[in-house]
Structure 1
Amino acid sequence: MKMKAQRVLMFVDNIFEDMELLYPYYRLIEEGADVIVAGPKADCIYTGKNGYPFRSTAAIADQRAADFDLLVVAGGFAPDQLRRDPKVLELTREIFEAGKIVAHICHGGWIPISAGIMKGFNCTSTPGIKDDLINAGATWVNEEVVVDRNQISSRKPDDLPAFCRTIIEAATESN
Structure 2
Amino acid sequence: MKGKLSDKKILMFVDDLYEDLELWYPKLRMIEEGADVIIAGKEKGKIYSGKHTYPCKANASFDELNDKDFNALIIPGGFAPDKLRREENVLKLTKNIFNSGKLVAHICHAGWIPISAGIIKGFRCTSTPGIKDDLINAGAIWVDEPVVADRNMISSRRPDDLPDFCRAIIDYLIK
Q: TM-score range by the shorter chain?
A: over 0.9
- For 1:41, the equivalent position in structure 2 comes to 43
Question: What secondary structure, in the 3-state scheme, does the structure 1 residue paired with 2:22 have?
Answer: helix
Superposed displacement of residue 71, structure 1: 0.3
Superposed displacement of residue 135, structure 1: 0.4
**Cα distance in 1 between the residues matched to 2:88 and 2:100:** 18
- For 2:125, the equivalent position in structure 1 comes to 123
- Percent identity (aligned): 61
Superposed displacement of residue 136, structure 1: 0.4
Superposed displacement of residue 5, structure 1: 1.6
Q: Deviations over 1:31-88 (max 9, x none)?
A: 0000000000001100000110111110110011000000000000000000000000
- For 2:102, the equivalent position in structure 1 comes to 100
**Cα distance in 1 between the residues matched to 2:84 and 2:65:** 14
Q: Equivalent of 1:9, from 8, 11, 14?
A: 11
**Cα distance in 1 between the residues matched to 2:167 and 2:5:** 12
| Structure 2 segments unaligned to the other structure (5+ residues) | none
- For 1:113, the equivalent position in structure 2 comes to 115
Q: Deviations over 1:110-129 (max 9, x none)?
A: 00000000000000000000
**Cα distance in 1 between the residues matched to 2:74 and 2:53:** 21
| Structure 1 segments unaligned to the other structure (5+ residues) | none
TM-score (norm 1): 0.98
- For 1:53, the equivalent position in structure 2 comes to 55
Superposed displacement of residue 3, structure 1: 0.4
Superposed displacement of residue 13, structure 1: 0.3
TM-score (norm 2): 0.98
Paired residues in the alignment total 173
Provide runs of 4+ in structure 1 moved above 4 Å: none
